[in-house]
Amino acid sequence: MANINITTIRPYLIRAFYEWLLDNKLTPYLLIDSNMPGIQVPSVYVSNGQIILNIEPSAVDNLNLGNNRLVFNTRFDGVLYPISIPIEAVLAIYASENGIGTIFDSDHMLFSKKKVNIQKNIDLSLKDNKYENNKNAEKIRTIKNPNLRLIK
């Protein structure tokens, strides 16, 4: 068995939902866990350990949806703030208009690199399935065509 490092899918889903929301003329919002270490958001706007951020292109500058962090500049009450968010702090991305989006699991194990054991010696050739395939082909051949007739 081989060990393969699997990274979190979260940044890819965030980028995919972001693009999809914009393509559908919706406003992408992020729900952020502001208690995570390494987060940089204006604490004045944090409520119950969370902050909601509008990441529509007209609301942010220099948006970088990276694999480890989301980084951009935005304004709150006219004051420019640099925002830096670890990927694991993103709890959801959704449309402000209708709530369509996705919620991410808060389990920290989903964010770290995992090792997955994969068997290298799996033989996917058809030779092992030849007998089974022949039996199925014979069954298909023995099925008769439907016999329909017109009744007047």
Q: How many domains does the chain have?
A: 1
136: pLDDT strictly greater than 80: no
What one-character-per-residue DSSP string does 97-131 give?
TT--EEE----GGGTS-EEEEE-S-----GGGGHH
For residue 148, tell me if it sits in a domain: no
Q: How many whole angstroms separate alpha carbon 36 and alpha carbon 14?
A: 18
The answer to whether residue 18 is domain-embedded is yes
CATH code at position 103: 2.30.30.220
Residue 73 lies in a domain: yes
127: in domain: no
Domain assignment present for residue 144? The answer is no
pLDDT at site 27: 97
Reply yes or no on whether the pLDDT at 142 is more than 90. no
Range of the domain at 22: 2-118
**Residue 136 domain-assigned (yes or no):** no
Average pLDDT over residues 59-63: 96
Q: Is residue 8 part of a domain?
A: yes
- Residue (of 51, 48, 46, 45) closest to 70 by Cα position: 51
119 against 35, higher pLDDT = 35
Interval 79-117: pLDDT, tens: 999 999 999 999 999 999 999 999 998 654 444 444 444
Closest CA to 19 of 71, 50, 63: 63
The secondary structure of residue 9, as a DSSP letter, is: S
How open is the CA angle 10-12-15, to the nearest 5 degrees? 110
pLDDT on residue 110 = 47
Coil/strand/helix, residue 63: strand
User: What share of the chain in percent tops pLDDT 90?
Assistant: 63
Q: Has residue 35 been placed in a domain?
A: yes
